[in-house]
Amino acid sequence: MSSTGRTIVNVGLASCGIAAGAQKVYEAFKTALDGFEVQLTFSGCMGMCYKEPLVEIRNPDGTRHIYGKVQPAQVAQIVEEHIQKGNPVLDWIVYGDGIKTPDSDYIERQQRIILKNCGVINPEEIDSYLEVEGYQALKKALQSMTPEQVIDEISRSGLRGRGGAGFPTGTKWSFARKSPGKEKYVICNADEGDPGAFMDRSVLESNPHGVLEGMLLAGYAMGAENGYIYIRAEYPLAIKRLKIAIDQATEKGYIGNNILGSGFNFNIMIREGAGAFVCGEETALIASVEGKRGMPRIRPPFPAQSGVWGKPSSINNVETFANVPWIILNGADSFNRFGTESSKGTKVFALAGGIARGGLIEVPMGITINEIVHDIGGGLASGGKLKAVQTGGPSGGCIPAAMGDTPVDYESLKKIGAIMGSGGLLIMDESVCMVDVAKFFLNFTKEESCGKCTFCRVGTYQLLNILERITRGEGRPGDIELLEEMGEKIRAGALCGLGQTVPNPVLTTIKYFRSEYEAHINDKICPAKKCKELITYLVKADVCKGCGRCSKECPTGAISGEKKQAFVIDQEKCARCGLCVSVCKFKSIQVITGKGEGVTSNG
Amino acid sequence: MGETIKDSDKAALDEIVQKYNHDKGAAIMILQQVQASFGYVSEDMLDYISKLTKVPASDLYGIATFYAQFRLEPVGDNFIQVCHGTACHLAGAEQLSEAIQNEIGIKSEGTSEDGKFTLEHVACLGCCSHGPVITFNGETYAKMTPEKVKKLVRQAGKSCQCGNAEGSVKEGCEANV
């Protein structure tokens, strides 16, 4: 955005910002700026989710400042000091031109290609996108490139599928182009079912035209005239902004018939997913687009030969499409300057869990886990030690802290049993129980298994049963080996990508955290003190002030005592919900693991 | 079959089906639209839609039960979704769910006996940096604690059905609470 000579106030209004209260901040600015010669606008996600709500002020000289954790009560002062008097309120600024803040590294160590426009443009105004070279790549391709040249450029760029599997995008398009038949489809996979991943949501909410332009270029390249966006219904704001973007692009002639007078026709339709993780798998997604239950099928035929309605189709992830306009505009060579030999470009990650600075980051491929966690993410939120990083969602793997120097690229991650996945990076500190984490993912995949093949349906159920037993303190010798054996068989025998990767969290946690499984099974203890059946809550009598808060909040009435005297927990009644720990202001509730160790009871 | 649907509801269903008449494979979209209008998709409605679309009722039932989004029962006056994504799980989503269950008197997901609350677990709302996250009647609440969630539930429980969403009981309505 160039200098306009006047002040612009930009509030980040993506779902994450709104959840943190950004809409109220926007309204407060609206009131406070009434009568001022200031443009109030909004954008999508600026990336620093941990500092939401975020407000950027673009000064008349073109410099910018971003305020973090802005509350409506601060708005009047920001307007008075910064806008009226020209004195930015430095204490509240998290990032700004010419200012070094503790958060500067978060932004400065990133490399933005896909997120270039996120948090910058107004996602509901096509003109805002056009100002930042929007639809120029489409224009360039239609006016000066053949479809083959577009495919060639994408192939030379080295772009690989950002949905996780990493298949070369140019090759995929070329298959679809070569498939016989006139009717072909471009499909944007915006299902993003991985819990812990929100890159696609952010990109769609922040830069919807970038994704549409990528789809249009794909359509031109492979000779398709229709595109579907398959998007989760859980993302209502992304759906709303996509609809607006499609309408505006159609009105301006970038979507529809005879686009920019080139003779190229392309229409885009939205299909809302209805909540099924398996629909992220391409053959299941196709079934769902056709209005059926989202069951995967055996390949071949591949979608490039027989996809939606039996026609050649190419399915790419949101982030893959978002890369395309940049590559066409700047050239393959500029793109593959970033990244490693086999993984070119950048990758967007959703940094979440126990990290100090959680949010959306874009980094060059090949960066190490440690650099992401410590340099960009600012280390652990608890101030404690890193235990593991989970990549790739429920079908990914847990990487132990000791392997923090692993470079993040498709091959390196695969080598250590993890996967790139769509880009969720869950940071875990020492308080996380790895057996519980494995159980959590298995519980998810058991629920989400479509049930078509036995390996996944029954295998997942059995793995979960064993894990549940172990966390209940009923683990048996041989359980670990049984989990490993079954995991390998499910991996080999399941029909689709979901089933084949279901065992990953179990296998990697066993591989890298075996002693934790052994502690649960052999010693009946949960070292992280998370597994309910293996822990006991106790009131530290010398710390307890006898305020009675825990007793009042305890849902099972397990805590009793006299005011101003130490309270006691009845172990028979205690449901181990941990509510007492969260309400106690004096940290007088302790958790111990191992049955019978110093347990007192008044029951 | 389908006889228990009111005429006015039939008209609404006719209109929805009509809207997607020309769309190939519209079954999911029709059911989504029905749920958006009615809050759920009952078996009677599925039978009626089947007659209109000629899609076998078994197929429609198959879709409605396959996808997590569809509900075959109406929801309570207040609808709470607790995100159980990984980040929210690590941040204590289970405690939130338990606190809500205790508060509204149910054992797992579902609707409370008085019909005032429905609790649903969802896979991921995509606000992972702000976990644990819930939605309460469509509004998203970040960084929730069991205490905050209990307060929210109690407040909503106290509010009567006279359109006052603020939680304070209007005069004369207490008898209905």
Alpha helices by DSSP H, A146-258: 147-157, 169-178, 199-206, 208-222, 236-251
Q: In what order do the strands lie in the sheet with A64-67?
A: A39-43, A8-12, A55-58, A64-67, A93-96
Say yes or no for a CB contact (<8 Å) between B131 and A352.
yes
Confidence of residue A595 (pLDDT cuts 50, 70, 90): low
Mean pLDDT, residues B98-119 taken together:
93
Cβ-Cβ contacts under 8 Å, A555 against chain B: 98-99, 102
Confidence of residue B175 (pLDDT cuts 50, 70, 90): very low
Tell me, yes or no, if B148 comes closer than 8 A to chain A by beta carbon. no
Confidence of residue B157 (pLDDT cuts 50, 70, 90): confident
What was the pLDDT predicted at B80?
96
Task: Report the share of chain B in percent with pLDDT over 90.
Answer: 72
Q: What is the spatial distance between Cα A147 and Cα A266, in angstroms, rounded to a whole number?
A: 14
Q: What is the spatial distance between Cα A48 and Cα A357, in angstroms, rounded to a whole number?
A: 7
Say yes or no for a CB contact (<8 Å) between A198 and B127.
yes
ipTM: 0.89
What was the pLDDT predicted at A3?
54
Confidence of residue A460 (pLDDT cuts 50, 70, 90): very high
Confidence of residue A343 (pLDDT cuts 50, 70, 90): very high
Residue B174 clears pLDDT 50, i.e. is over it? no
Cβ-Cβ contacts under 8 Å, A450 against chain B: 66
Query: Which of A329-359 are b and which e, b meaning 16 or more Cβ less than 10 Å from the residue's Cβ?
Result: beebeebbebbbeebbbbbbbbbbbbbbbbb
Q: What is the spatial distance between Cα B101 and Cα B75, in angstroms, rounded to a whole number?
A: 15
**Among candidates A350, A448, A577 on the partner chain, residue whose Cβ is nearest the Cβ of B98:** A577
Alpha helices by DSSP H, chain B: 7-19, 27-38, 43-53, 57-66, 86-90, 93-104, 146-158
| Average per-residue pLDDT for chain A | 94
**Among candidates B25, B86, B145 on the partner chain, residue whose Cβ is nearest the Cβ of A196:** B86
Say yes or no for a CB contact (<8 Å) between B66 and A235.
no
| Residue A160: closest CA among A173, A177, A148 | A173
What was the pLDDT predicted at A553?
86
Element (H, E) at A270: strand A267-273
| Residue A212: closest CA among A318, A116, A327, A121 | A318
This prediction's pTM:
0.93
Residue B59 clears pLDDT 60, i.e. is over it? yes
Residue A408 clears pLDDT 60, i.e. is over it? yes
Contacts of residue B2, defined as CB under 8 A and 6 or more positions apart, other chains included, come to: B44, B45, B47, B48, B51
Torsion, Cα A542 A546 A549 A554, to 10 degrees, reads 70
The nearest CA of chain B is from the CA of A406 a distance in Å of 22
By C-alpha distance, the chain A residue nearest B149 is A579
Please state, as a whole number, how many other Cβ atoms lie within 10 Å of the Cβ of residue A442: 25
**Among candidates B59, B90, B133 on the partner chain, residue whose Cβ is nearest the Cβ of A428:** B90
Q: Greater confidence, B126 or A462?
A: A462
Mean pLDDT, residues A550-555 taken together:
90
Contact A16, A202 (CB under 8 A): yes
